[in-house]
Protein backbone atom coordinates (compact mmCIF):
# COMPACT_ATOMS: atom_id res chain seq x y z
CA UNK A 1 0.00 0.00 0.00
CA UNK A 2 2.82 2.42 0.91
CA UNK A 3 4.54 1.66 -2.40
CA UNK A 4 1.33 2.49 -4.22
CA UNK A 5 0.99 5.82 -2.37
CA UNK A 6 4.63 6.73 -3.12
CA UNK A 7 4.09 5.84 -6.76
CA UNK A 8 0.96 8.00 -7.00
CA UNK A 9 2.73 10.94 -5.34
CA UNK A 10 5.59 10.58 -7.82
CA UNK A 11 3.17 10.55 -10.76
CA UNK A 12 1.37 13.62 -9.40
CA UNK A 13 4.71 15.44 -8.96
CA UNK A 14 5.82 14.65 -12.52
CA UNK A 15 2.48 15.77 -13.90
CA UNK A 16 2.72 19.01 -11.92
CA UNK A 17 6.19 19.76 -13.26
CA UNK A 18 5.02 19.05 -16.79
CA UNK A 19 1.93 21.20 -16.33
CA UNK A 20 3.94 24.15 -14.99
CA UNK A 21 6.44 23.86 -17.84
CA UNK A 22 3.65 23.73 -20.36
CA UNK A 23 1.96 26.72 -18.74
CA UNK A 24 5.24 28.71 -18.97
CA UNK A 25 5.60 27.92 -22.66
CA UNK A 26 2.02 28.80 -23.48
CA UNK A 27 2.19 32.07 -21.53
CA UNK A 28 4.72 33.63 -23.88
CA UNK A 29 2.97 36.35 -25.91
CA UNK A 30 2.61 36.12 -29.68
CA UNK A 31 1.89 38.89 -32.15
CA UNK A 32 1.64 39.51 -35.88
CA UNK A 33 1.06 42.79 -37.68
CA UNK A 34 1.26 43.69 -41.37
CA UNK A 35 0.85 47.23 -42.67
CA UNK A 36 0.74 48.11 -46.38
CA UNK A 37 0.01 51.75 -45.54
CA UNK A 38 -3.18 51.97 -47.57
CA UNK A 39 -4.22 54.20 -44.68
CA UNK A 40 -2.43 55.35 -41.55
CA UNK A 41 -3.36 53.04 -38.67
CA UNK A 42 -3.76 55.54 -35.83
CA UNK A 43 -4.48 52.75 -33.37
CA UNK A 44 -0.99 51.34 -33.93
CA UNK A 45 1.18 54.28 -35.04
CA UNK A 46 1.86 57.52 -33.24
CA UNK A 47 3.39 60.29 -35.35
CA UNK A 48 5.31 62.78 -33.27
CA UNK A 49 7.57 65.74 -33.84
CA UNK A 50 11.32 65.28 -33.41
CA UNK A 51 12.47 65.93 -29.82
CA UNK A 52 9.20 67.32 -28.42
CA UNK A 53 7.12 64.31 -29.56
CA UNK A 54 4.15 66.62 -30.03
CA UNK A 55 1.46 64.98 -32.14
CA UNK A 56 2.33 65.57 -35.82
CA UNK A 57 0.11 63.32 -37.91
CA UNK A 58 -0.04 65.96 -40.63
CA UNK A 59 3.69 65.41 -41.27
CA UNK A 60 3.20 61.76 -42.28
CA UNK A 61 2.12 61.73 -45.94
CA UNK A 62 0.42 58.82 -47.70
CA UNK A 63 0.59 58.45 -51.47
CA UNK A 64 -0.14 55.26 -53.44
CA UNK A 65 0.26 53.15 -50.28
CA UNK A 66 3.66 54.67 -49.47
CA UNK A 67 4.22 56.35 -46.12
CA UNK A 68 6.48 59.37 -46.55
CA UNK A 69 8.31 60.97 -43.63
CA UNK A 70 9.94 64.15 -44.88
CA UNK A 71 11.80 66.84 -42.97
CA UNK A 72 10.38 70.11 -44.19
CA UNK A 73 11.03 72.10 -41.00
CA UNK A 74 14.40 72.27 -39.26
CA UNK A 75 14.59 70.01 -36.18
CA UNK A 76 10.86 69.32 -36.40
CA UNK A 77 10.70 66.34 -38.69
CA UNK A 78 8.25 63.48 -38.06
CA UNK A 79 9.01 60.35 -36.06
CA UNK A 80 6.97 57.15 -36.30
CA UNK A 81 6.39 55.26 -33.06
CA UNK A 82 4.50 51.98 -32.70
CA UNK A 83 2.22 51.25 -29.81
CA UNK A 84 3.82 49.19 -27.00
CA UNK A 85 3.93 45.50 -27.97
CA UNK A 86 4.04 42.78 -25.33
CA UNK A 87 7.21 40.69 -25.37
CA UNK A 88 9.06 38.56 -22.83
CA UNK A 89 12.40 36.87 -22.48
CA UNK A 90 11.94 33.71 -24.51
CA UNK A 91 10.31 35.45 -27.48
CA UNK A 92 11.77 36.17 -30.91
CA UNK A 93 10.85 39.49 -32.49
CA UNK A 94 11.13 39.86 -36.27
CA UNK A 95 10.72 43.08 -38.23
CA UNK A 96 10.71 43.21 -42.02
CA UNK A 97 10.16 46.28 -44.13
CA UNK A 98 10.66 47.76 -47.58
CA UNK A 99 12.06 51.26 -47.40
CA UNK A 100 13.80 54.00 -49.36
CA UNK A 101 15.93 56.80 -47.92
CA UNK A 102 16.92 59.99 -49.63
CA UNK A 103 19.32 62.43 -48.01
CA UNK A 104 19.56 66.13 -48.84
CA UNK A 105 23.12 66.75 -47.62
CA UNK A 106 26.07 65.14 -45.84
CA UNK A 107 24.39 65.28 -42.45
CA UNK A 108 21.73 62.58 -42.58
CA UNK A 109 21.22 60.04 -39.79
CA UNK A 110 17.99 58.11 -40.21
CA UNK A 111 17.12 55.53 -37.61
CA UNK A 112 15.16 52.40 -36.73
CA UNK A 113 15.22 51.51 -33.04
CA UNK A 114 13.78 48.95 -30.65
CA UNK A 115 13.01 50.48 -27.27
CA UNK A 116 11.91 48.82 -24.03
CA UNK A 117 9.08 50.78 -22.45
CA UNK A 118 6.90 50.97 -19.38
CA UNK A 119 4.18 52.62 -21.46
CA UNK A 120 0.97 50.71 -21.98
CA UNK A 121 -0.88 53.11 -24.27
CA UNK A 122 -0.11 54.63 -27.65
CA UNK A 123 0.61 58.15 -26.37
CA UNK A 124 4.23 58.23 -25.10
CA UNK A 125 4.62 59.19 -21.45
CA UNK A 126 7.77 61.09 -22.44
CA UNK A 127 5.65 63.58 -24.42
CA UNK A 128 7.07 67.06 -23.81
CA UNK A 129 8.78 65.93 -20.61
CA UNK A 130 12.48 66.70 -20.48
CA UNK A 131 12.95 64.45 -17.44
CA UNK A 132 11.92 61.22 -19.16
CA UNK A 133 12.69 59.40 -22.38
CA UNK A 134 10.97 56.80 -24.50
CA UNK A 135 12.66 53.94 -22.67
CA UNK A 136 15.78 51.80 -22.69
CA UNK A 137 17.14 51.23 -26.17
CA UNK A 138 17.80 47.65 -27.25
CA UNK A 139 19.28 48.31 -30.67
CA UNK A 140 19.56 51.23 -33.08
CA UNK A 141 20.05 50.82 -36.81
CA UNK A 142 21.38 54.11 -38.18
CA UNK A 143 21.38 54.99 -41.86
CA UNK A 144 24.23 57.44 -42.09
CA UNK A 145 25.41 59.81 -44.78
CA UNK A 146 27.51 62.01 -42.54
CA UNK A 147 31.15 62.96 -42.60
CA UNK A 148 31.54 64.73 -39.28
CA UNK A 149 35.06 64.25 -37.92
CA UNK A 150 33.99 64.73 -34.30
CA UNK A 151 31.44 61.91 -34.26
CA UNK A 152 32.17 59.20 -31.70
CA UNK A 153 30.11 56.66 -33.61
CA UNK A 154 31.85 54.34 -36.08
CA UNK A 155 31.70 54.92 -39.82
CA UNK A 156 30.84 57.95 -41.90
CA UNK A 157 28.79 56.63 -44.83
CA UNK A 158 27.36 53.38 -43.54
CA UNK A 159 24.44 51.57 -41.99
CA UNK A 160 25.33 50.98 -38.33
CA UNK A 161 23.88 48.24 -36.13
CA UNK A 162 24.38 49.52 -32.60
CA UNK A 163 23.13 47.50 -29.60
CA UNK A 164 23.08 49.44 -26.36
CA UNK A 165 26.46 48.10 -25.22
CA UNK A 166 28.38 49.04 -28.38
CA UNK A 167 30.41 51.84 -26.76
CA UNK A 168 31.86 49.52 -24.12
CA UNK A 169 32.65 46.31 -26.00
CA UNK A 170 32.96 47.24 -29.71
CA UNK A 171 29.87 45.13 -30.27
CA UNK A 172 28.55 46.62 -33.52
CA UNK A 173 28.40 46.01 -37.26
CA UNK A 174 28.89 48.36 -40.22
CA UNK A 175 27.02 47.66 -43.44
CA UNK A 176 27.45 49.00 -46.97
CA UNK A 177 24.71 51.63 -47.30
CA UNK A 178 21.89 51.84 -49.82
CA UNK A 179 20.42 55.26 -50.53
CA UNK A 180 18.01 56.62 -53.12
CA UNK A 181 16.61 53.21 -53.99
CA UNK A 182 14.21 50.69 -52.47
CA UNK A 183 15.55 47.86 -50.34
CA UNK A 184 14.19 45.22 -47.98
CA UNK A 185 15.70 44.65 -44.56
CA UNK A 186 15.04 42.38 -41.62
CA UNK A 187 15.84 42.56 -37.91
CA UNK A 188 15.59 39.49 -35.67
CA UNK A 189 15.82 40.00 -31.93
CA UNK A 190 16.24 36.67 -30.12
CA UNK A 191 15.67 37.24 -26.41
CA UNK A 192 16.78 33.71 -25.50
CA UNK A 193 20.07 33.71 -27.36
CA UNK A 194 20.46 37.45 -26.64
CA UNK A 195 21.39 38.20 -30.23
CA UNK A 196 20.25 40.66 -32.88
CA UNK A 197 20.53 39.69 -36.54
CA UNK A 198 20.32 42.27 -39.31
CA UNK A 199 19.68 41.07 -42.86
CA UNK A 200 20.24 43.08 -46.04
CA UNK A 201 20.79 41.86 -49.60
CA UNK A 202 21.19 38.21 -48.59
CA UNK A 203 23.88 39.10 -46.04
CA UNK A 204 23.55 38.67 -42.29
CA UNK A 205 25.17 40.68 -39.51
CA UNK A 206 25.09 39.50 -35.91
CA UNK A 207 25.55 41.49 -32.70
CA UNK A 208 25.10 40.53 -29.07
CA UNK A 209 22.18 41.84 -27.06
CA UNK A 210 21.25 41.93 -23.40
CA UNK A 211 18.40 40.71 -21.23
CA UNK A 212 15.17 42.68 -21.31
CA UNK A 213 13.98 44.47 -18.19
CA UNK A 214 10.50 45.47 -19.37
CA UNK A 215 7.72 43.41 -20.95
CA UNK A 216 6.81 45.80 -23.75
CA UNK A 217 8.68 47.18 -26.71
CA UNK A 218 8.20 50.04 -29.15
CA UNK A 219 9.46 50.40 -32.71
CA UNK A 220 10.79 53.87 -33.46
CA UNK A 221 11.62 55.30 -36.91
CA UNK A 222 12.87 58.68 -38.05
CA UNK A 223 14.75 60.45 -40.82
CA UNK A 224 16.76 62.99 -38.84
CA UNK A 225 19.24 65.23 -40.63
CA UNK A 226 20.57 68.77 -40.69
CA UNK A 227 18.42 71.37 -42.43
CA UNK A 228 15.53 70.02 -44.53
CA UNK A 229 14.79 67.74 -47.48
CA UNK A 230 15.65 64.33 -45.97
CA UNK A 231 13.04 61.67 -46.74
CA UNK A 232 12.20 58.19 -45.45
CA UNK A 233 9.58 56.26 -47.43
CA UNK A 234 8.08 52.98 -46.20
CA UNK A 235 6.24 50.68 -48.59
CA UNK A 236 5.26 48.04 -46.01
CA UNK A 237 6.27 46.66 -42.65
CA UNK A 238 5.69 43.28 -41.02
CA UNK A 239 6.15 42.65 -37.30
CA UNK A 240 5.92 39.29 -35.55
CA UNK A 241 6.62 37.95 -32.09
CA UNK A 242 6.89 34.18 -31.62
Per-residue pLDDT tens digits for 193-234: 999 999 999 899 999 999 899 999 999 999 999 999 999 999
> SS3 for 104?
coil
User: What was the pLDDT predicted at 25?
Assistant: 57
Cβ burial, residue 177 (10 Å; 0-12/13-18/19+): middle
> What is the mean predicted confidence (pLDDT) over 40-60?
96
Assign residue 65 a region: left if phi > 0, alpha if psi is -120 to 50, beta otherwise?
A: left
**Per-residue pLDDT for 27 more than 60?**
yes
**Per-residue pLDDT for 187 more than 50?**
yes
> What is the mean predicted confidence (pLDDT) over 114-134?
89
Please report which confidence band the pLDDT of residue 17 belongs to, taking 50, 70 and 90 as the band edges: very low
Please report which confidence band the pLDDT of residue 19 belongs to, taking 50, 70 and 90 as the band edges: very low
**Per-residue pLDDT for 151 more than 90?**
no
Q: How many residues in the chain?
A: 242
Domains of the chain: 32-241 (2.60.120.200)
Q: What contacts 116, CB < 8 A, 6 or more positions away?
A: 135, 136, 137, 138, 212, 213, 214, 216, 217
Given a contact cutoff of 8 angstroms between Cβ atoms, the answer to whether 111 and 142 are in contact is yes
Q: What's the whole-model pTM score?
A: 0.87
Q: Pick from 186, 210, 218: which is nearest to 199 by CA?
A: 186
Amino acid sequence: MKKMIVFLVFIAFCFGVYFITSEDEVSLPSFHYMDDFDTLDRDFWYVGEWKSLYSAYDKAKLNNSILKLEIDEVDKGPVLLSKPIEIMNGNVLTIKRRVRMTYANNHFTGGLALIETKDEGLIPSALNNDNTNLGNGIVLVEYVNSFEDDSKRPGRNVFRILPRSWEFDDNFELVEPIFNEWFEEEIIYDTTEKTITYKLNDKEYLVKSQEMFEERIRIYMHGYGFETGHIVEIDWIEISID
